[in-house]
Amino acid sequence: MEFKKITLKRGKESSLLRFHPWIFSGAIDKKEGHISDGDIVKVYTHDNKFIATGHYQTGSIAVRVLSFKDEEINYDFWHKRLLSALELRQKLRLTDIEGNNTFRLVHGEGDNLPGLIVDIYGSTAVVQAHSAGMHYARNNIAEAIVNIMQGRVKAIYYKSGTTPFADEMNATEGFLIGKSSDNIALEYGIKFHIDWINGQKTGFFVDQRENRKLVEQYANGRKVLNMFCYTGGFSAYAIRGGAELVHSVDSSSKAVDLTRENISLNFPDCNNHEAYAEDAFKFLQNMQPESYDLIILDPPAFAKHHDAVRSALHGYQKLNAKAFEKIAKGGILFTFSCSQAINKEQFRLAVFSAAAQAGRSVRILHQLHQPADHPINIYHPEGEYLKGLVLYVE
């Protein structure tokens, strides 16, 4: 294989010495060999000392580091890294939670596999590549998943929608190994129909598992509004928790259909759930005050990039202020942000401003985050993306 070498500008190795897994394009002094998107490159300091092996890609993040060792990136490498991701989940007993066949096997940088996401739904694994390099490695990765899962995974579906340069690279979606139409995921005994072909992300938001369980704990006797419901995850838990009524809202009519389908899958006789295809801001604006005493706000990422942070914070404030204005006295608000570019202090400040704007007395009951199968590499704080507050509103 041709040697592809990247030499950094003087001093630009300092973040790598602290194991940060990204090299920005501005840090690169020299490229040698024919380097194209998705290639494995060896990275050297200005003084010609080896420092990392990674995937190259055009753009602001030029190299995603796979290893700080000078090792070959071959099938054995993927097998070793995937096995280590599985072993973490096994040690934490996340692979055998009662009533559960769903978990995240690989969470990008959190599993030292930047650019790769793998979610397990029963006997199917859904793989997403966020980098060109992971796209090229997809067949090795698929084979390694089947091997480490020892019969538990029979089909691998590749979702290429997030692959950069997907068109140029002929990144087509479909099964890499096997085939499966068994797309019912189980989460703490609740069934969800997973549409990995047309759905958002890998078809389901695995990351809200523990937070949905907390909603179940507080739902008894409450009137629940699940805003941004998508597949109706929070709604199903609220119903099982004994809510008096549950209303689910999403601007996408497809999401509303999915929610209805999942509610009847679990509670065929349920008569206290309604789902509405409406815009969140309009719905909150038009609803009667005190209609609900448990509200969940789980919007899509308002800030996709750092330059959108200000307007996103304004959006979170506006949304939460509406909920604070309308929620019944003694109500509980679950409010989330999944914007990677917004940290928990900024989010909390936006929610604080919203509470002050509405003039309500508010206490923080819980501070929520992503679960253990979405680990954060301590050297890559950007991996902390999901944050939530559970608030008691008087």
- Give the interface with ligand SAH as residue ranges (CB under 6 A): 205, 208, 228-231, 233-234, 250-252, 255, 279-280, 298-300
Cα–Cα distance, 35 to 54 (Å, whole number): 12
CB of 197: closest distance to ligand SAH in angstroms? 16
CA–CA separation, 313 vs 355, rounded Å? 14
CB of 313 to ligand SAH, least distance (A): 17
Quote the least distance from Cβ 282 to ligand SAH, whole Å.
Answer: 8
In this structure, are residues 43 and 72 in contact, taking their beta carbons and an 8 Å threshold? no
Q: Which residues of 372-394 are buried (b: 16+ CB within 10 A; e: fewer)?
A: bbbbbbeebeebbbbbbbbbebe
312 CA to centre of own chain: 18
Angle between helices 253-266 and 233-240 (to 10 degrees): 30
Q: Which is nearer to ligand SAH, 40 or 342 (CB)?
A: 342
Q: Considering the complex, state which of residue 267 and residue 379 has its C-beta at the smaller distance from ligand SAH.
A: 267
H-helix or E-strand spanning residue 40: strand 40-44
Q: Least CB distance from residue 233 to ligand SAH, whole Å?
A: 4
Q: Report DSSP state, residue 287.
A: S
Question: Quick one: 169 or 186, whose CB is closer to ligand SAH?
Answer: 186
Output the smallest distance, CB 388 to ligand SAH, in A.
11
Which residue's CB is nearer to ligand SAH, number 76 or number 279? 279
Residue 136: which H helix or E strand, with range? helix 132-136
CA dihedral (247, 250, 253, 255) positive or negative: negative
Closer of 8 and 225 to ligand SAH (Cβ): 225
Measure CA 310 to chain center.
22
60 burial level (CB within 10 Å; 0-12, 13-18, 19+): exposed
| Cβ neighbours of 298 (radius 10 Å) | 22
Q: CB 323 → ligand SAH: shortest distance, Å?
A: 13
Q: How far is CA 319 from CA 156, 283, 313, 342, 358, in A?
A: 38, 11, 10, 16, 11
Instruction: Report the residue number, 4 or 254, with the smaller CB distance to ligand SAH.
Output: 254
Pairing of the two strands 22-24 and 155-159: unpaired
* Rounded-to-integer distance, Cα 288 and Cα 296, Å: 17
| Complex with ligand SAH: residue 54 or 315, whichever CB lies closer | 315
> What CA–CA distance (Å, rounded) separates 72 from 105?
23
Q: Which is nearer to ligand SAH, 174 or 300 (CB)?
A: 300
First to last CA, the chain: 66
Least distance to ligand SAH, CB of residue 190, Å: 12
Task: CB nearer to ligand SAH: give 81 or 322.
Answer: 322
Q: How far is the CB of 279 from ligand SAH (least distance, A)?
A: 4
Residue 22 or 237 having the CB closest to ligand SAH? 237
What is the nearest approach in angstroms of ligand SAH to the Cβ of residue 212? 7
Question: What is the C-alpha to C-alpha distance for residues 129 and 176, in angstroms, rounded to an integer?
Answer: 13
Q: Considering the complex, what minimum distance in angstroms separates the CB of residue 280 from ligand SAH?
A: 3
Inter-residue contact 9 to 20 (CB < 8 Å) = no
What the block records as the tokens of 197 is 């072909």
